[in-house]
Amino acid sequence: MSVATSHRHRKVTEPRTPLALKQSRLPRWALPALAAAALAAGCGTGLAAGLDSTVQWGLIAALLFVAGTFALTAAVEGVRQAKDRLATSVVWIAFLLAVVPLASLLWETVARGSKVLDGYFLSHSMGTLPDAMPGGGVYHAIIGTLEQVGLATLIAAPLGLLTAIYLVEYGRGRLARTVTFFVDVMTGIPSIVAGLFVLSVWILILGFGPSGFAGAMALAILMMPVVVRSTEEMLKLVPNELREASLALGVPKWRTILRIVLPTSLGGITTGVMLAIARITGETAPVLLLVWGAKTINNNPFDGAQQSLPLYVFQQWQQGSDASYDRAWAAALVLIAFVMVLNLVARGIARWKAPKAGR
């Protein structure tokens, strides 16, 4: 600041004194050199003190680097620049700190999961195989997941779509405000609570047994608000001129919605529904309470216990043998791959169908 004010009254044409504008800067190589030094010091301290966790070495190195940068910059460039550098390092460290576990999660799943993942694994059920034995597969779980998620989508997608149409096209007044509020509230329901609700009504009060359909109902409760929210956003993006043009031609409102509004926003709605499907595919808790898990193939979602991929991962983990751990990782890999493909396709559709006009 002081530099700027001292120059305020000086004319532009006047030859400047380079000294006043120039501030001493750290050379470009200073920071990488400092980083390397900190890393070496961290590893050295770790080795010397005999720390057994490499995470601690990294922490020491990071601390040394941040402190070193601050001290060096404060000495050469001034305190304000030093604070700026400090903030930059902290932000970078936060980023790296988050990347490490997330990358490790993906790496572990792929590395450990690919061990037993093959055609046999995908096309066979567990059957009567003892849990500690290697072998077996996830076919029954894939069938169960597809059926439960399919049923949940059949229930939730039309309801969610119609609710969103109501909110955007018709909704005025108290009912619409209440629905909007409760859609928000519903988004936050923990999945296990949705499971407990279906458990209390369907199994405890009505007396039905566990089935894929019971699980699908709980999944539908979790899916509905997500569909409503995303569809609402997409319908709001449809330009009003389209609606008005159609209405002005004498087309009834319901046909306007069906033939003009929905086709225009179809890409976005599909994306929203697919993201919602991806979200409920990974839900374990309601399936645990309502579908129970089976070892054999059960193609009928309306009768008897079924299996599902996330529940399979959990139950194989519970068995606690090496063979079952391998199966759990492999099933987790299948699950992640399924969810990621759904996500990528959904976002691809969103980009492809994105409204070209507008901002």
The reply to whether 93 sits near other proteins by the rule CB under 8 A is yes
3-class SS of residue 171: coil
Question: Residue 355 in contact with residue 237, Cβ under 8 Å?
Answer: yes
The reply to whether 179 sits near other proteins by the rule CB under 8 A is yes
Q: Which residues, 104 to 123, sit near other proteins by CB under 8 A?
A: 104-105, 108-109
Q: Which residues, 195 to 214, sit near other proteins by CB under 8 A?
A: 196-197, 199-201, 204-205
Distance separating alpha carbons of residues 97 and 135, to the nearest angstrom: 37
The reply to whether 101 sits near other proteins by the rule CB under 8 A is yes
Angle at which helices 79-113 and 54-76 cross, to 10°: 160
Q: Which of 74, 129, 262, 336 binds other proteins (CB under 8 A)?
A: 336
Q: Which of 81, 270, 319, 321 binds other proteins (CB under 8 A)?
A: 81
The reply to whether 247 sits near other proteins by the rule CB under 8 A is yes
Residue with tokens 């980023």: 95
Q: Which residues, 21 to 50, sit near other proteins by CB under 8 A?
A: none
User: Closest CB to other proteins among 69 and 299?
Assistant: 69
Q: Which of 64, 117, 141, 167 binds other proteins (CB under 8 A)?
A: 167
**Tokens representing residue 145 in the block:** 């997941």
Question: Residue 169 in contact with residue 257, Cβ under 8 Å?
Answer: yes
Query: Which residues make beta-bridge pairs with 306?
Result: 292
Q: How far is the CB of 26 from other proteins (least distance, A)?
A: 14
Question: Residue 264 in contact with residue 240, Cβ under 8 Å?
Answer: no
Strand locations in 73-149 (E): none
Applying CB under 8 A, which part among 13-21, 30-38, 208-216, 327-335 lies near other proteins? 327-335
Phi-psi region of 304 (alpha: psi -120 to 50; beta: other; left: phi over 0): left
The reply to whether 97 sits near other proteins by the rule CB under 8 A is yes
The reply to whether 159 sits near other proteins by the rule CB under 8 A is yes
Q: Which residues, 271 to 310, sit near other proteins by CB under 8 A?
A: 272, 275, 278-279, 281-285, 288-289, 310
Distance separating alpha carbons of residues 51 and 124, to the nearest angstrom: 46
Q: Which of 117, 313, 323, 330 binds other proteins (CB under 8 A)?
A: 313
**Tokens representing residue 137 in the block:** 């597969």
Cα-based distances in Å from 258 to 169, 251, 266: 12, 11, 11
**Tokens representing residue 344 in the block:** 């990528």
Q: Which of 74, 129, 186, 297 binds other proteins (CB under 8 A)?
A: 186
User: Closest CB to other proteins among 41 and 203?
Assistant: 203
Q: Which of 47, 132, 162, 266 binds other proteins (CB under 8 A)?
A: 162
Q: How far is the CB of 53 from other proteins (least distance, A)?
A: 3
Applying CB under 8 A, which part among 33-41, 84-92, 124-132, 135-143 lies near other proteins? 84-92
The reply to whether 221 sits near other proteins by the rule CB under 8 A is yes
Applying CB under 8 A, which part among 11-19, 63-71, 93-101, 134-142 lies near other proteins? 93-101
Question: Within 13 Å and on the Cβ side, how many CA atoms surround 255?
Answer: 8
Q: Which of 95, 127, 300, 348 binds other proteins (CB under 8 A)?
A: 95
Query: Which residues make beta-bridge pairs with 292?
Result: 306
User: Closest CB to other proteins among 299 and 340?
Assistant: 340
Q: Which residues contact 188 (CB under 8 A, 6 or more apart)?
A: none
Distance separating alpha carbons of residues 287 and 189, to the nearest angstrom: 15
Q: Which residues, 127 to 156, sit near other proteins by CB under 8 A?
A: none
Question: Residue 183 in contact with residue 229, Cβ under 8 Å?
Answer: yes
Q: How far is the CB of 19 from other proteins (least distance, A)?
A: 18
Q: How far is the CB of 343 from other proteins (least distance, A)?
A: 5
Residue with tokens 């006043």: 20
